[in-house]
Structure 1
Amino acid sequence: MIHETALVQSNSLGDNTNVWQYVVVLPNAQIGANCNICSHCFIENDVRIGDNVTIKCGVQVWDGITIEDDVFVGPNVTFTNDLYPRSKQYSGEWAKTQIEKGASIGANATIIAGITIGKYAMVGAGSVLTKNIPAYTLWYGNPAIQKGYITASGIILSLDLIDRKTNNKYTLENGVPTLVE
């Protein structure tokens, strides 16, 4: 479904992808299947968006950004793609930013150009992310710092790998939080 007020110039939209009011998608953008692109978003040309991605209202996805499958991008998340911006002076090459499978970015977070957010990692609302973050980690603040871990199913763990709700203990196996039986 493409809303009548959206301007979608790309022919590369997957099945069952919804594009809502006042969205602009430039011609070379690639968007996968079963995505939800909410109102007032802008998606530039050199952008790759995987399957099952949700991009909430007011997000601009600039050239050089790749968003893998199953990613959640909260409302008004700000991506950048130029570390040294100047008016009318373009480098011709944009920093590459990678948001890996299953990651979640909270509302109003700012993502500085050229970083990678690892698989299933979570960035808290309002955070300013200035460096790469590993898979399965929880970061927030300004600048964002690691505050814990998170499982693929969304269980928040402390820095010492304990689920404070259940007191279950986890260990890292190849960087993946795993319940200690």
Structure 2
Amino acid sequence: MDVSKRLIIVGFSGFGKEVYWLARRLGITVVGFLDDNPAVQGVTYRDSPVLGTVDSWVNYPDCLYVIAVGSPRIRKKIYENIAASGMPQFATLIDPAAVVNSEFVSIGEGSIICAGTILTVDIVVGAHVIINLNCTIGHDAVIRDFVTVAPLVAVSGNVKLSECCEVGTGASIRQGVTLGQGSMLGMGGVLTKNVAENTVFFGNPAKAFKTIAG
């Protein structure tokens, strides 16, 4: 991406601050944050203030944007709300300490790849995906739009994470497994079989715990 462009981070949260740190490591100037929480309006983190609510993005048409919100469903909703009033240019942020070779890996706009993560070969990562710290993504994996992968997750080869999936910290996924749209694997889970859409799995081996609204 063009590091001369200025960035606005959507979401003033702990992860938003981590994305600020990531952007600064890339040499990108962070203009500020946008957040709908009234309590954080006007608050400044380092040198970057909360500039307004999310819909005020239209006041900064020359900036790049990234949505730094962990929940896949909320992140998708924010994107849809932004898209309803136009379409800014979204940044794709890959930490310099991540191992990613664009010859072997495709990454969509608005995605965030954090420090220590390794993506090997023939991997497709969709748009507005978050892959957090120290994850490993194996060969031929497919990660669809709005997926969140928490820190220290091991994704084996030929795994498919469908749109809006969420994988908790320290989880492991066996080769060839598919997680259906909107599903979730809980923290520390060891997944050895496919997960139906909008289903939460926990444990070792992970088992179905409950279904959640689509």
TM bin, normalised by shorter chain, reads 0.5 to 0.7
Match of 1:25 in 2: 100
Identity %: 29
Structure 2 distance, partners of 1:45, 1:64, is 7
| Contact 1:66–1:99 under 8 Å retained in 2 | yes
TM-score normalised by length of structure 2: 0.58
Q: How many residues align?
A: 130
| Contact 1:122–1:150 under 8 Å retained in 2 | no
The within-5 A match list for 1:28-177 is 28-81=104-157, 96-152=158-214
Instruction: Give the partner amino acid of 1:39.
Output: A
Structure 2 distance, partners of 1:34, 1:55, is 12
| Contact 1:15–1:32 under 8 Å retained in 2 | no
Q: Secondary structure at the match of 2:182?
A: coil
| Contact 1:127–1:143 under 8 Å retained in 2 | yes
- Distance apart, 1:22 and its partner CA: 0.7
- Distance apart, 1:4 and its partner CA: 5.2
Unaligned runs of 5+ in 2: 2-22, 28-88
Match of 1:10 in 2: none
Structure 2 distance, partners of 1:101, 1:80, is 18
Unaligned runs of 5+ in 1: 6-13, 82-95, 153-181
Instruction: Give the partner amino acid of 2:92.
Output: T
Root-mean-square deviation (CA, aligned residues, Å) is 1.8
- Distance apart, 1:45 and its partner CA: 2.0
Q: Secondary structure at the match of 2:151?
A: coil
- Distance apart, 1:151 and its partner CA: 2.1
Structure 2 distance, partners of 1:148, 1:21, is 38
Give the structure with the larger helix fraction: 2
